[in-house]
Structure 1
């Protein structure tokens, strides 16, 4: 697998470091969805095994890898819930009840916010401010007025910032974020 252009072997110290940093997050997500620490750990381990089996994956950053693992854990949890038949006839397409889907969405939103805000903090101070205001629903003109810069400067800063966020988090992650979660900021 590659992370930030660097090849990482699964028996290396780099992979061990990634595992030690990300495994607890995956356990928490799995545990919260399934309501069991043991099941959460099992699902997190399963996600890392799937990652190991797909050794040709290429991630722009560790955050992109983390987003990928969140999706693996979420899907494994849904499969686990289906196996346990813990849903009734009023299920949604994913096989979850309305309340389970609501909890899952809240957990994923929370984890998404963490990833996004960590990435935003790595932007320049001006870009960080522009992106935060944009996520709060400010128009380009409002941002320009607030920061006392031109609208064209706002557009340029946003374009560069979003480009860096796509590179850091992965383009699919940012697209999903901007289309599904922007109303919650």
Structure 2
């Protein structure tokens, strides 16, 4: 597995080895021991989540606070998305900055997002199946979010404004300056 450190400390792009032949391919997208050795710390995932979305859907920017914060290992099973992580660690030199990584069923890249980040993605293909592992359980009372188009963040979701599809909940999120961190 190839592991690439992003500009954020503790946030990595992972590329599993893929063995292809005329029949198709085989890969091991997750191995607990190899994963922990690759990122240099122990993460124990407790919950898997999966979503299906159509082109233009933006699911963003979500996080959980306090003892329910979550680290995530995300990947795409079908289609193509632009995955975004925003650093919310107040003591970080990169606080308020973001990274964008294209994840697809073709490139098979994964993104590990440590605790202390908001996360979201936009669907660039006609449809996408998105899968992620979490190191903590979902807790509704701890769920928070930031408005996807906060001008201070300047995220380019790689969609035209008329393509973007948002939930009512995501449309009503605060900007980073007003968010509860």
Q: TM-score range by the shorter chain?
A: under 0.3
Task: Say which structure is richer in helix.
Answer: 1
Q: Which has the higher strand share?
A: 2
Taking structure 2 as the reference length, what is the TM-score of the superposition?
A: 0.26
Choose between structure 1 and 2 for higher RCO, CA contacts under 8 A separated by at least 6 residues: 2
Give the greater-gyration-radius structure (CA): 1
- The alignment's TM-score, normalised by the length of structure 1, stands at 0.26
